[in-house]
Amino acid sequence: MKKILLSVIAATILSAGQAQAADGVKKEITIVATINDAIFVSKPDGSTWYDKEELFAKDYTQTEFASKDLPVRVYTTDNEVNVSLVQPLTVARADGAQLSNVAVSFAGKAVVTGTPTQVIQTTAAPGGYDNTYTLKIDAKAPTNATGSTNGQYQGDLVMLFEPKL
C-alpha cells in the first residue's frame, strides 16, 4: 500500500511539473509593503519617492554641480529624527572616474555615512509631527579622470531615516 501511494504521489508531482513546463513560463514579482507607525518619509505629496535626479552644472565651466532642491516630507510620532547615509555617495563614470567632494545635506545639515544627523520636527500634526525639508547634493568635477571628463556619471543615494528610539 505504501509503495502504491508513493508511486501515485510521485506520478502526480511529475505530471504537474511537466504540465507547467509545457504550458508556459512562470514569473514572480515580490511585493513588499512596510507600515511603520513611527515614521513616514516621502515627497511632499505623501505618495512617492524620488527615482532619478540630475546634478546640474553651476556655471559654464562645469567644475561644480548641484541638485535642484528636493523637498522631503517627514512624518513622525516623536519630534526627533536621525538621518544618515547607509553608504557613501559615489557618483562615477563606467571607467571609474568619480565626481569629487560629493556632499549631501538635509534640513541644512551635512549628512554623512554612519553618523546620524539629528533633525527636530517642529510642526505638530494629528498623532505626531509633519515637516518638509530640503535635500541637496553638491559635487565637483572629477579629479581622477584620465583624459576628458566628459561622460555620464551615476550613483545611488541611500539614506536612513530613523525615529528617536
Indicate whether 5 pLDDT > 60.
Answer: no
Alpha-helical segments (H) within the chain: 2-23
Decide which of 9 and 65 is more confident: 65
pLDDT beyond 70 at 19: no
Higher model confidence: residue 21 or residue 7? 21
Cα of first residue to Cα of last residue in the chain, in angstroms, is 61
Backbone phi, psi, residue 126, to 5°: -55, 120
Burial class (CB in 10 A: 0-12, 13-18, 19+), 107: buried
Dihedral of CA 106/161/50/132: which sign?
negative
Count CA atoms closer than 13 A to 104's CA, side-chain side: 24
* Mean pLDDT for the stretch of residues 101-117: 94
The predicted-structure confidence for 40-88, as pLDDT tens digits, reads as follows 899 999 878 888 899 999 999 889 999 999 999 999 999 999 999 999 9
Residues ≥6 apart with Cβ < 8 Å to 124: none
Q: Residue 111: pLDDT band by 50, 70, 90 thresholds?
A: very high
Task: Name the percent of the chain lying above pLDDT 90.
Answer: 55
Residue 165 pLDDT level (bands cut at 50, 70, 90): low
Q: What is the pLDDT of residue 10?
A: 42
Q: Look over the chain and give the mean of its residue pLDDT values, rounded to a whole number.
A: 83
